[in-house]
Structure 1
Amino acid sequence: MTLPDADRDLVVAELGRDPTPAEEILFENLWSEHCAYRSSRPLLSAFDSDGEQVVIGPGDDAAVVAVDDDTYITLGIESHNHPSYVDPYDGAATGVGGIVRDTLSMGAYPIALADCLYFGDFDREHSRYLLDGVVEGIADYGNAIGVPTVTGATAFHEKYEGNPLVNVACVGLLSADRLVTAEAQKAGNKLVLVGSSTGRDGLGGASFASEDLAEDAETEDRPAVQVGDPYTEKLLIECNEALIDEGLVESARDLGAAGLGGASSELVAKGGFGARIDLNAVHQREPDMNAFEILLSESQERMCYEVAPENVERVQEIADKFDLGSEVIGDVAEGNYVCTFDGETVVDVPPEFLAEGAPMNDLTATDPEPAERDLPDADLAEAFEAVVADPNTASKRWVYRQYDHEVGLRTVRRPGDDAALLDVPEADTKLAFTAGSDPNWTNAAPYDGARAVALENATNLATKGATPLATVDCLNGGNPEKPGVYGGFKGIVDGLADMCRALSVPVVGGNVSLYNDSVSGPIPPTPTLAMVGEAAGRSPGLSLTGEGDLFVVGTAGDALGGSTFLANAGGTDAFPALPDAEDAATAVETIRSVAAADSTLAAHDVSHGGLAVALAEMVTDEVGADVAADDLVSFFDETPGRVVVETTDEDALRDLAGDVPVIELGTTTDDATLSVSVGDDDLAYGVGDIADLRDVLTRELD
C-alpha cells in the first residue's frame, strides 16, 4: 500500500514540498482507515456519549466512567481481525495486550477481559483451526498477565470463513486522583519510551488492517503481525502502577497502531504541541533499522510517557526495577512534530495535520432488501435438537474453561451466565459485564439487528439485577467502497445509536474495523458491544432451583428472521419486531427490578435460540421443567428484552412488571427432564441428553 495520489497532493500542499520517505509512510499509516476512520467517522456522530457518570468519552485510549465520586472504571474495546487470520495465536494474543495497555495509559489497573470471536462455519476444518489458535492465544496471554477473561461470545457464520473477527474488551479500575490522559501537558517535558525493545515485527500493521485480505495473506502478510510477550506485559502493568502511585506520569499513550509515530504524534497533537524526537535513542533489538521502521514498528509491550524533567531519573529507576527498557527519546515542544535520525531531519510536519488531517470519504450507501416470510414446516423434536446443538447456541465451555476467570479474586459470577459479576469493594458495589453480537440478526437486517444487539446486552445486565452504566462498540464491516456493504454498516451504526439512546446508555468509545473482506466476500456487518452496569443488590443465577414456577417477562415477537431455527430449518422471515424506544427502556428497568426481588430464584434472558435454548441452559442435574408454548414461532422466537423467571410469588412478579407482559410458562420439576408442549406436539429430554446436545464444541475439539 502507498499513499494515494489525492492524499499525497494534500500533504504536498500543506508542507509546501514533497514529503520525505519517512513522512510519506507515516501519513500512509496515520491516514489509513484503521487509524483515521475515514469512512466511519461521518457516521459516528449518531452516538450519544454524554452522561453524568461519563468522565472521559470517545477520543482517548479508553473511556472513563465514574462509579462514585472516588472510584472510576475504564472501558475499551479493540479488534485484531486481520492479524488473527494470518497468525491466529499471535494475532489474538497481541489483541489482548493492546487493549490492556490502553487501560494502563489512563492510569487504571486492568481487572477483567471479554473476548468476542467470530469464525466461519464450525464444520469447516479451517474455522476450527482458527478457533483453536485464537482461544489459545487469548488464554496464554490473559492468564500470564493475571487479568481474568470473564465474559464474551463465540459465533459461527459462513461469511467469516475468509476473515474471522477477534474483538477484545477490557475493564480497568482506578481512583479519581490517578487519572491520566493521552493529552500532552507542557512544552519542555520529556517523552520516555518504557517497555520492550523495538523490532521489525508488526511493520505497517495499520495499513495492513485497512485492506481486504488477499488469498495469500497467511504467508505474505505475516510480517505485519506483532509477536507478544505476556511476561513483559505483566512487568509493564506493575511498572505502570508504580509510576502512577508516585505521580510521575503527566500523560501516556500505548504504542499500538502505527507504533511510536502514531502514539507520540497523537499525544502531542491532542495537547496542541509538537515534539522533537531522536529516533536513534530508541532501544532496538535488531540491527540496522531505518527511520520508518523505528517509527512504525508495532512491537508490543511499549508505552510512551510524558514526564517532567525532574522525574525522569526516578521513572528510569522504576523501569529498571522491573527489568524494562527506558529511554528519553525526545521532548514535548512548540511547533512541528520533528524526528531526526543519524543527524538528519526525517520528519517535520504539523502534528495536528498528521494526526487529524485525513479527509473523510464520501461514500454511497444502499439499504438491503427486507426478507419475505417463508416459514418451513418442521418437526418439533428435530428442530429442538438442531437449535440446541447448533454451535452458535451450544455451550461455550470449551472456550472459557481455558481462561483463568478468577485471578484477581474479584469474579463473583463466572462465564456461562448472562453477564459476569465483578466485586468492587472500593465502591461497595459490584459491576456486571457483558459483551457480544449476533451476525445472524445483523445479516438479516442490519438496523434492527443492531438494535436487538444493544437491547440484548442491556437485558443481560438487567437479568443479573444491574443498571447499565455505559457501553463501547467495535463496529466491524466489509469493504465500505461497496454501496451495499456501506449501507449495512450505516445500518448497524444507526441501530446501535437509536437503541442505546432509548435505553439511556451512553456509547463512550469504541473501535472501527472495515475492509473485513476477502475472496470469500464481505463479513456480515457485526456490531460488538461491551457493556457494564452496576449491580448493588441481589443478582440471581440462571440455574433453576426447583422451588418456584416459571414465567416469561417481556413482549414476544411474531417473526423468526435471523433466528437459529431458520438457519437450520431453512426459509426466510423478517427480523422480529422490536419494542419501541419507550417500551424497550421500560422492559430493561422492569427486568432489573424483577431480578433483584427476593422472590426471584433464577432468571435468564431469552435471545439466541429462543425459549428452547433458554430452558435448556436453565435445567440442571436435579431440576427439570414442564412448560408450554403456543407454536414454533413463540418457542424459537429470539426477540430480546425478555427473561425467563423462576419465582415463588406470582403476584409480586406481576406487580413489579406493571404493564410489561407476564406469560405463564410452566413449573419446575424434580425429575431432571425438560418436558415441552408446543401446540399439539410434545417432547421430553433428560438433562443428560440436553447436555450432550449442547457440548458439541468439546466433543469436536477435544
Structure 2
Amino acid sequence: MSNNSMTNEQIETEKIYREMGLTDEEFQLVKEKMQRLPNYTETGIFSVMWSEHCSYKTSTPLLKKFPTKGEHVLQGPGEGAGVVDIGDEQAVVFKIESHNSPSYIEPFEGSATGVGGILRDVFSMGAKPIAALNSLRFGKLDQDRTKWLFTEAVRGIANYGNTIGVPTVGGEVQFDESYEANPLVNAMVVGLVNHQDVQKGVASGVGNTVIYAGGKTGRDGIHGATFSSDIVEAEEDHKSAVAIGDPHMGKKLIEACLEVIHSDALVGIQDMGAAGLTSSASEMASKAGTGIELVLDHVPQREENMNAYEMMLSESQERMLLVVEKGREHEIIAIFEKHGVEAVAIGEVLEEEVFRTKHQGEIYAEIPVAALTDDAPVYEMPSKEPDNYRALQAQEVTIPADLNHSEMLRTLLQQPTIASKEWAYKQYDSEAQGNTIAGPGHDAAVVKIDGTDKAIAITTDCNSRYLYLDPNVGGQIAVAEASRNIVCTGAKPLAITDGLNYGDPTKPENFWQMEQSIDGIREACLALETPVISGNVSLYNESKGEAIMPTPIIGMVGLLEDTKYLTPNTFQAAGDAIYLIGETEAEFGGSELQNVLEGKYAGKAPKINLETETARQKQILEAIRAGVVASAHDISEGGFAVALAESAFNEKGLGVAVTLEGDATTALFSETQSRFILSVKKENKAKFEEIVRDATEIGTVTTDGTYEIQVSGQAIIKENVDQLNTLWKEAIPALLKS
C-alpha cells in the first residue's frame, strides 16, 4: 500500500492519487494549496482528510439546515460529541456514529470498534460513559450471510460493551432486503459530565507538548476513512482496512482520561478516530488557529519498520491525542502510567499554521493546516426527484380484503422487524454500573443519574420504509417517533444526534433523498424543540448500483426530572381502562402489513401533522406528571393490534378486551401516526380525560390472559396472550436456527 520511494512527479503522471480516493480535480486543488506537487505521504493525508467520511464534502451544505441551538444546548456540532444541560451543573454528552463498511467485511471487529470509537468521542469531552445503544439494519433473516452478519455484529457489540463496563441499554434492529449487501451498524453513547469538566479538542498554546496515549500504532485500518467513503462490493477484499479493537485497553483509557481531565496541565484532548493521527492532530490545530509538528519516531509502534505514511493513516484503536502545558508533561504521563496506559510526547504546537510530520530526521509532510480542514472541497450536488416518486404518491389507498385478522396478527408478531429482540439484547450487559431502571425492550431506555432523583431516557429510531416512499415525511416521522418513545417513559425530549445513512451522493436521486429527509428532520426538530447537537454521515451505502433505503437514524435523549414519573410500557392491573389516543385512517404505504402481503413498499407514506404530534405529546407528558397514567406505549410498525399485544406482554398474566369502530383491517393494522395506547386506573379517568383531548376509551385490562378485539360489534380476534407472546419471543431464535 505504501511507497515512500515514489517521486512526486510519478504520483501525478501515473495518477497514483486516484487509488487513494482523490479525483483529478481534487489533485489539482491540492497542488494549488501546496503551491507544489505533494509527496506520497502528503497525498495520502489529503486523501483521508478530504474523504467524505472526514470532510462531509457533499453533505455540509445540507447539515447547515439543522437547528443546533436551544436553551439546554451547551455544545452543538463541531466537537467530539454534543453537550446538553440537565440541571444542577450537570450535562449529558452524546453522539451516534456509523461503522457500516467495516461491519460488512468483519462484523465482529467492525461493530466492536464502532462502539469503541463512539465511547472515545464521548469521554474525550470529559464525560463518563453511562449508556450505550445501537441501531442495526440487515437484509432478510432467511439468508445465511445475513444470519452470520447479525449474529457476529451483536457478538462484537456485546464483547466490547460488556468488557468495558458500559451498559448497553437499548436500541433497535430492522431487517429489509435493501440492506442485504450494506448492513448498517450505528452505535450511540451517552456520558455524564459536570459543566466545569467539559473538554474540547484544541491544540492551543504555542510550544505546548503533543502527547500520544493508548494502544500502539499498527498497520490496521490504513485508509479506513477512504474505504468508508466509497462503495464496497462484496467480492473485494478490504480486511486490512478494518481496525481491531481492544476493550481491555479501552477500559483503562477511559479511566485514565477521566482522571487526566481534572489536571489543569491539560489543554485539549481528542480521540484518534477516522484517519487516526492525521485527523486528530490537524483538527485540533485548526480549531485553535495554530500549527502542529509530530515526530513519528516517538509514536509507539506495534509493527516493525512502519513508515510515515502508514503511521499517519493507521486507524489502530484505543488511542488519544492530548495537548499539555509545556514543562508539565510528566504529570499527565504519570496518570496514564498509573492506569497501565502508555503515554509519550510526540510533538509540539507551532505558531505557524502548518501541519508537519518528521521521521528519521526527514520532513515527510508540510501542509497548511487550513488546506486539510477548512479548505476541504465542498460540493453542491445536483438533486433530482426520482422518476417513481410521483407515481408512488399517486397510488390509491387500497384496504387489503379478505384478511384472517387473527392469522395476520400472529404473522406480524413473528416478523423480524417487529418480533422481540431479546435474543440480541440478552447478550448485552444492560445492568453494568447499576443505574439502568428501564433496559432493552422498553419504548426508551431509562438510566438514573447517580446521587439525584433524576434520570435520562434514550432511544434510537428510524422507519426507512416511510423515507423510501417520501423522504421528507419519513424524516419528520423518524424524529416524532423517537420523541414519542421518550414521552411514553415520562421524560421530556431534549435534543437529538443523527446517524445519516444514504447511498452514493453523486447520484442526483440519492442526493434528493438526503435533501428531502434532512428538511423533514429539521421541521420536526423545530416543532418538537429538539435541536441537533451532534451526528455522523455515512454515504455510498450501496452495491450493484442499488442504494439502501434512506436511513437517517435519530438518537434522542430526554430528561425525567424525577424517577417517580417513570411510566411502564405494559399494562399494570386488571380493571384499568384502555385508551386509544388519536384517530386511525387507512394508511398502509410502507407498513408491515404491506411488506407481508406484497413483499415491497408502494403508495404514500402515512401523513404526519407536527402540530397535532406536539400537542399530543405535551398532553400525555402532563397526564403522566399528574400521576394519572398507569402505562403508555406508542403505536408503530404493525399498527394498533401489534401495539396492543406488546402492551399485554409482561409476566402479570393479564388480558385485554377492546372494542373499535370502522373497517377492521384499518383499525387493526393501519400505521397512522401520532397514536398511543394508554392505560388509566378507573378513579383517574375523569382527570385523565380533562388533560388528554384526543383520547377514546376503548376497553379494559382483564384478568383472564385473553386478547380480545371486537370491531363494529363483531368479534374479530380472540387469542391467548401467552401464546402470542411466545410467537413474538421465539421468532428470531427460530429464524437463526433454520
Fold match by TM threshold 0.5: yes
Secondary structure of 2:456 counterpart: strand
Paired residue type of 2:343: S
1:593 paired to 2:622: yes
Q: How does 1:322-337 map to 2 (within 5 A)?
A: 322-335=339-352, 336-337=354-355
Paired residue type of 1:646: S
Deviations 1:420-474 (A, max 9, x none): 1111135541111111211222222211111111000001111111111111000
1:564 paired to 2:592: yes
Question: In the alignment, which residue of structure 1 is the partner of 2:384?
Answer: 366
Q: How does 1:44-123 map to 2 (within 5 A)?
A: 44-123=63-142
Q: Distance in 1 between matches of 2:606 and 2:71?
A: 33
Q: Distance in 1 between matches of 2:480 and 2:171?
A: 16
Query: What is the Cα deviation at residue 360 of structure 1?
Result: 1.4
Query: What is the Cα deviation at residue 557 of structure 1?
Result: 4.1
Task: Work out whether residues 255 and 303 of structure 1, in 8 Å CA contact, stay in contact via their aligned partners in 2.
Answer: yes
Paired residue type of 1:599: V
Q: How does 1:492-507 map to 2 (within 5 A)?
A: 492-507=517-532
Q: Distance in 1 between matches of 2:685 and 2:452?
A: 34
Q: Distance in 2 between matches of 1:203 and 1:85?
A: 17
Q: Distance in 1 between matches of 2:584 and 2:307?
A: 62
Query: What is the Cα deviation at residue 478 of structure 1?
Result: 0.4
Question: In the alignment, which residue of structure 1 is the partner of 2:360?
Answer: 342
Query: What is the Cα deviation at residue 555 of structure 1?
Result: 4.2
Deviations 1:457-498 (A, max 9, x none): 001111111111111000000011112111112222111111
Task: Work out whether residues 77 and 510 of structure 1, in 8 Å CA contact, stay in contact via their aligned partners in 2.
Answer: yes
Secondary structure of 1:111 counterpart: strand
Deviations 1:193-248 (A, max 9, x none): 0000000000100000000111313xx10100010010000000111111123334
Query: Of the candidates 524, 528, 540, which is equivalent to residue 515 of structure 1?
Result: 540
1:175 paired to 2:208: no
Task: Work out whether residues 259 and 298 of structure 1, in 8 Å CA contact, stay in contact via their aligned partners in 2.
Answer: yes
Task: Work out whether residues 462 and 595 of structure 1, in 8 Å CA contact, stay in contact via their aligned partners in 2.
Answer: no
Query: What is the Cα deviation at residue 158 of structure 1?
Result: 0.3
Deviations 1:6-61 (A, max 9, x none): 11111111211001111111100110011111111111121100012111100111
Paired residue type of 2:527: A
Paired residue type of 2:570: S
Task: Work out whether residues 67 and 427 of structure 1, in 8 Å CA contact, stay in contact via their aligned partners in 2.
Answer: no
Q: Distance in 2 between matches of 1:193 and 1:350?
A: 22
Paired residue type of 2:530: V
Question: In the alignment, which residue of structure 2 is the partner of 1:189?
Answer: 208
1:693 paired to 2:718: no
Query: What is the Cα deviation at residue 390 of structure 1?
Result: 0.8
Task: Work out whether residues 159 and 520 of structure 1, in 8 Å CA contact, stay in contact via their aligned partners in 2.
Answer: no
Query: Of the candidates 614, 636, 640, which is equivalent to residue 611 of structure 1?
Result: 640
Query: What is the Cα deviation at residue 125 of structure 1?
Result: 1.4
Query: What is the Cα deviation at residue 681 of structure 1?
Result: 5.2
**CA distance 1:84–1:359, change in 2 (3 Å):** same
Question: In the alignment, which residue of structure 2 is the partner of 1:272?
Answer: 289
Task: Work out whether residues 466 and 606 of structure 2, in 8 Å CA contact, stay in contact via their aligned partners in 1.
Answer: no
Paired residue type of 2:130: I
Query: What is the Cα deviation at residue 96 of structure 1?
Result: 0.2
Query: What is the Cα deviation at residue 69 of structure 1?
Result: 4.8
Deviations 1:656-694 (A, max 9, x none): 113xx1122211111111111234451111122111221
Query: Of the candidates 273, 290, 294, which is equivalent to residue 311 of structure 2?
Result: 294
Question: In the alignment, which residue of structure 1 is the partner of 2:253?
Answer: 236
1:662 paired to 2:695: yes
**CA distance 1:112–1:248, change in 2 (3 Å):** farther
Question: In the alignment, which residue of structure 2 is the partner of 1:637?
Answer: 670
**CA distance 1:75–1:322, change in 2 (3 Å):** same
Paired residue type of 1:229: D
Task: Work out whether residues 66 and 532 of structure 2, in 8 Å CA contact, stay in contact via their aligned partners in 1.
Answer: yes
Segment of structure 1 superposing worse, 302-311 or 241-250: 241-250
| Uncovered stretches (5+) of structure 2, i.e. residues with no partner | 1-18
Q: Distance in 2 between matches of 1:541 and 1:248?
A: 46
Q: TM-score, normalised by structure 1?
A: 0.97
Q: Distance in 2 between matches of 1:416 and 1:397?
A: 7
Q: Distance in 2 between matches of 1:573 and 1:196?
A: 52
Task: Work out whether residues 432 and 464 of structure 1, in 8 Å CA contact, stay in contact via their aligned partners in 2.
Answer: yes
Structure 1 segments, 4+ long, off by >4 Å, are none
Query: What is the Cα deviation at residue 596 of structure 1?
Result: 3.1
Deviations 1:279-332 (A, max 9, x none): 111010100111110001000000001111232101111211222111111011
Question: In the alignment, which residue of structure 1 is the partner of 2:229?
Answer: 210
Paired residue type of 1:205: G
Paired residue type of 1:376: P
Segment of structure 1 superposing worse, 677-686 or 206-215: 677-686
Question: In the alignment, which residue of structure 2 is the partner of 1:304?
Answer: 321
Task: Work out whether residues 266 and 324 of structure 2, in 8 Å CA contact, stay in contact via their aligned partners in 1.
Answer: yes
Question: In the alignment, which residue of structure 1 is the partner of 2:582?
Answer: 554
Paired residue type of 2:381: L
Question: In the alignment, which residue of structure 1 is the partner of 2:40?
Answer: 21
Q: Distance in 2 between matches of 1:307 and 1:244?
A: 11
Question: In the alignment, which residue of structure 1 is the partner of 2:12?
Answer: none
Q: Distance in 2 between matches of 1:61 and 1:297?
A: 19
Q: Distance in 1 between matches of 2:86 and 2:135?
A: 25
Secondary structure of 1:528 counterpart: strand
Query: What is the Cα deviation at residue 638 of structure 1?
Result: 2.2
Task: Work out whether residues 557 and 577 of structure 1, in 8 Å CA contact, stay in contact via their aligned partners in 2.
Answer: no
Secondary structure of 1:8 counterpart: helix
Q: Distance in 2 between matches of 1:388 and 1:665?
A: 22
Q: TM-score, normalised by structure 2?
A: 0.92
Secondary structure of 1:185 counterpart: coil
Paired residue type of 2:341: L
Paired residue type of 1:533: G
Q: Distance in 2 between matches of 1:185 and 1:550?
A: 60
The percentage of aligned residue pairs carrying the same residue is 35
| Uncovered stretches (5+) of structure 1, i.e. residues with no partner | none
Task: Work out whether residues 162 and 519 of structure 1, in 8 Å CA contact, stay in contact via their aligned partners in 2.
Answer: no
Segment of structure 1 superposing worse, 100-109 or 240-249: 240-249
Task: Work out whether residues 461 and 481 of structure 2, in 8 Å CA contact, stay in contact via their aligned partners in 1.
Answer: no
Q: Distance in 2 between matches of 1:321 and 1:10?
A: 47
Query: Of the candidates 628, 637, 641, which is equivalent to residue 659 of structure 2?
Result: 628
Deviations 1:513-564 (A, max 9, x none): 0000112721000010110011124121012122411001234343121111
Paired residue type of 2:494: L
Query: What is the Cα deviation at residue 595 of structure 1?
Result: 2.8
Query: What is the Cα deviation at residue 573 of structure 1?
Result: 3.2
Paired residue type of 1:195: G
Deviations 1:370-390 (A, max 9, x none): 421344322212321221211
Query: Of the candidates 371, 379, 402, which is equivalent to residue 353 of structure 1?
Result: 371
**CA distance 1:48–1:121, change in 2 (3 Å):** same
Q: Distance in 2 between matches of 1:185 and 1:554?
A: 55
Query: Of the candidates 428, 435, 446, which is equivalent to residue 421 of structure 1?
Result: 446
1:650 paired to 2:667: no
**CA distance 1:355–1:137, change in 2 (3 Å):** same
Task: Work out whether residues 202 and 323 of structure 2, in 8 Å CA contact, stay in contact via their aligned partners in 1.
Answer: no
Q: Distance in 1 between matches of 2:157 and 2:222?
A: 22
Q: Distance in 2 between matches of 1:31 and 1:69?
A: 41
1:458 paired to 2:475: no
1:574 paired to 2:604: yes
Q: Distance in 1 between matches of 2:443 and 2:672?
A: 16
Q: Distance in 2 between matches of 1:530 and 1:398?
A: 22
Deviations 1:627-654 (A, max 9, x none): 1333212321223322111102222121
1:140 paired to 2:175: no
Secondary structure of 2:261 counterpart: helix
